[in-house]
A = this chain, B = another copy of it.
Amino acid sequence: MSPDKKLSPDDWARAALDAVAAGGVEAVSVEGLARSLCVTKGSLYWHYADRSALITAALELWERIGTIEIIERLDAIEDPAARLRALFELSIGDARNGPVDSALAARVDDPVVGPVVERVARRRVEFLERAYRDLGLGPAAAAASARIAYSTYLGHFQAAQALRDDPLLGGPAPRYMRRLLHAMVESPRSAH
């Protein structure tokens, strides 16, 4: 960060989100961020009430750029199959989001993290459910498909991280994942 520049709340939130991406929520250290922003830690308390408020702001940033804006863009695609394929491309293509998503999803019990994670999960599943309905599925099948798709997405990144350099799970878009997701667009009923 360049020195001699007054900071905005957003500067702090962005730095905190970077820290979350790098090392999870517990990597958000007030002293560490202050150092990287070239201020003393007292500065934080001008912009935010405390560390929790900073984390909330960082996660709301994550919610906006990783969920709300993406959904808005995808909703412009009329054809539901193309819409789903575009989502899956975005999801497995970007190796940066998945790990953050699954790291945060694992912390729903945290009172600071929980509310945002719940909102994000609901928004995403609702998007998937809508796409599956547009695809012609009935309410029950669409609901099930949406949940299976979302849990498949989260599970993949968790398993891939745990089985670090597994040849089947490794890489940005492993073949088995492409096939799985492809099947969930072309014949979603086969999954349940």
**A interface list, Cβ under 8 A from B:** 23-24, 26, 102-103, 105-110, 117-118, 120-122, 125, 143-144, 147-148, 150-156, 158-164, 166, 168-169, 176, 179-180, 190-192
Pick from B125, B152, B179: contact of A151, CB under 8 Å: B152
> Across the interface, do B152 and A179 meet the contact criterion of CB distance under 8 Å?
no
In the complex the two chains form, what is the Cα distance from A26 to B120 in whole Å? 23
Do A147 and B163 form a contact, CB below 8 Å, given A103-B106, A106-B107, A158-B105?
yes
In the complex the two chains form, what is the Cα distance from A155 to B125 in whole Å? 14
Chain B residues with Cβ below 8 Å from A102 are 105-106, 158
Closest chain B CB from A150 CB (angstroms)? 5
Copies in the complex: 2
By secondary structure, the A interface counts as helix
> Across the interface, do B155 and A117 meet the contact criterion of CB distance under 8 Å?
no
Do A125 and B163 form a contact, CB below 8 Å, given A106-B158, A144-B176, A155-B156?
yes
In the complex the two chains form, what is the Cα distance from A106 to B117 in whole Å? 14
> Across the interface, do A164 and B108 meet the contact criterion of CB distance under 8 Å?
yes
In the complex the two chains form, what is the Cα distance from A121 to B161 in whole Å? 10
In the complex the two chains form, what is the Cα distance from A158 to B98 in whole Å? 13
Chain B residues with Cβ below 8 Å from A143 are 168
Chain B residues with Cβ below 8 Å from A103 are 106-107
